[in-house]
Amino acid sequence: MDQSSIDALRAQEIAPRGHFINGAFQAGETGALHEVQSPINGQPLTQIAEGSPADVGAAVRSARTAFEDGRWSRMSPAGRKKVLLKLANLIESRALEIAVLGVRDNGTEINMAYKAEALSAAATFRYYAEAIDKIYGQVAPTSHDVLGLVHHAPVGVVGAIVPWNFPLMIGSWKIAPALAAGNSIVLKPAESASLSLLKIAELAAEAGIPDGVFNVVTGRGSVVGEALALSMDVDIMVFTGSGATGRRLLEYSARSNLKRCYLELGGKSPNIVFADAPDLAEAAKVSAAGIYRNSGQVCVAGSRLLVQQDIYEDFVAEITRHAESFRVGDPLDLNSQIGAVHSLPELDANLDFVKKAEAEGAERRTGGERILTETGGYYMSPTVMAGVKETDNLFQNEVFGPVLAVTPFKDEAEAVRLANATVYGLAGGVWTSNLSRAHRMVAEVRTGVMHVNTYGGADLTVPLGGVRQSGNGHDKSLHALEKYFDLKTAWIKL
Contact 210, 183 (CB under 8 A): no
Catalytic, 261? Answer no
Single-letter residue type at 340: A
Question: 3-state DSSP call for residue 56?
Answer: helix
Report the C-alpha gap between 63 and 61 in whole angstroms: 5
Single-letter residue type at 85: L
Q: Which residues contact 211 (CB under 8 A, 6 or more apart)?
A: 22, 23, 24, 62, 66, 71, 205
Report the C-alpha gap between 426 and 269 in whole angstroms: 7
For β-strands 449-452 and 427-431, DSSP reports them as: parallel
Q: Which one from 264, 318, 346, 412 is the annotated catalytic residue?
A: 264
For β-strands 485-493 and 146-154, DSSP reports them as: antiparallel
H helices within 133-259, ranges in order? Answer: 167-180, 195-207, 226-230, 243-255
Report the C-alpha gap between 84 and 367 in whole angstroms: 44
Catalytic, 130? Answer no
Report the C-alpha gap between 392 and 216 in whole angstroms: 40
DSSP output for 94-157:
THHHHHHHHHHHH---HHHIIIIIIIHHHHHHHHHHHHHTT---EE----TTEEEEEEEEE-SE
Element (H, E) at 186: strand 184-188
Q: Which one from 109, 191, 299, 412 is the annotated catalytic residue?
A: 299
DSSP output for 289-325:
HHHHGGGG--TT---EEEEEGGGHHHHHHHHHHHHHH
> Which are the catalytic amino acids?
264, 299
